[in-house]
Structure 1
Amino acid sequence: MYENDPWLRRRAGAGALLALFLLLALALPLWLFRGNDHPLAGAESLDLCAKLSALAPAPDLEPRTARPFGMAGVCQWLGPDQQIRFEASLTTTRNISPQLVADHFGRWRDEVKVTGPDEFAETGEEGERRLYYRRGRNREQLIEDRGVMIWLRGLDYERAEFERLGFEAQTLLRQTAEEAPR
């Protein structure tokens, strides 16, 4: 019955071609997002101040959750004069889709270089990079961490103290709900 119909007749190798197509359809997304293993990589929004509650930029600063725009979360620490002294924001793979976090990090790095910061340093490899730069009294740090991007900005910090805060924030954000301090 189907032997004479040009559309319905059996073709040699059709099963292998279908299997190859299915394999590519499943493997390609896994290969593209292979470096996104951060626990928060898929988060659309979260309370960043709650996640970073153990972070202490300075004893007299009060944390405040800010309204994120195009980010998963923003937390600002205000001084006694209500000026923002320290700020942290988190961008995830879901927030910048269809871009990859690595592409976004590279574009940000290029923009920082063009603006001519007072200090500039980059460490690490793709997937786990850090960018340190300073403009006047503002010290900034951009951290790419396996599917998320953490941006920190502080006013009047020394580099060593600011780097310590960056590593501490990265560690706190990598903790799962079971590991988080209570």
Structure 2
Amino acid sequence: MGGGSGGGAGVAAVVVAQRQGLAVDFKESQVADFDDLEEDKFLNAVVKVYCTHIAPDYGLPWQKQRQHSSSGSAFMIGDGKLLTNAHCVEHDTQVKVKRRGDDKKYIAKVLARGTECDLALLSVENEEFWRGTEALHFGRLPCLQDSVTVVGYPLGGDTISVTKGVVSRIEV
């Protein structure tokens, strides 16, 4: 999903569940060889989110607050939508997204925000942004000790990061 700098903590991104060299295929939700997944299509579905925020001061609501910027990660889920973390776009005044390998930033609109689950749904109306992309599909939840690959734009980074590890705890 998304990680952030500025207002949010940590980095999270798309998780591919793997068990003994096998991975969830996002399209069919069936187990497939991880090497069979087209890595470029997978990486190209993860985007960097740039957000400008102005947090309200409830004690002095009449005073204009300072704006600040942060960044995070999102991924394409189809129908012109992106999924990110709610804290990445909290109190947003402007949201832009950028694809891997592209210098152009596209205006995004926050469609829904769930602070309880820390998820937000974004849309990008510019057709050019979606050209040549493929959405990711949700697979099963990983199990304890499953190998996972986390993809996203960590705090302070402008290039995509790929990190591998194992699931050591699950909270639902």
TM-score clears 0.5: no
**TM-score range with shorter-chain normalisation?**
under 0.3
In the superposition, the TM-score normalised over structure 2's length comes to 0.27
Which protein has the larger Cα radius of gyration, Structure 1 or Structure 2?
A: 1
Task: Please state which structure has a larger fraction of its residues in strand.
Answer: 2
Task: Please state which structure has a larger fraction of its residues in helix.
Answer: 1
Q: Which has the higher contact order (CA 8 A, sep 6+)?
A: 2
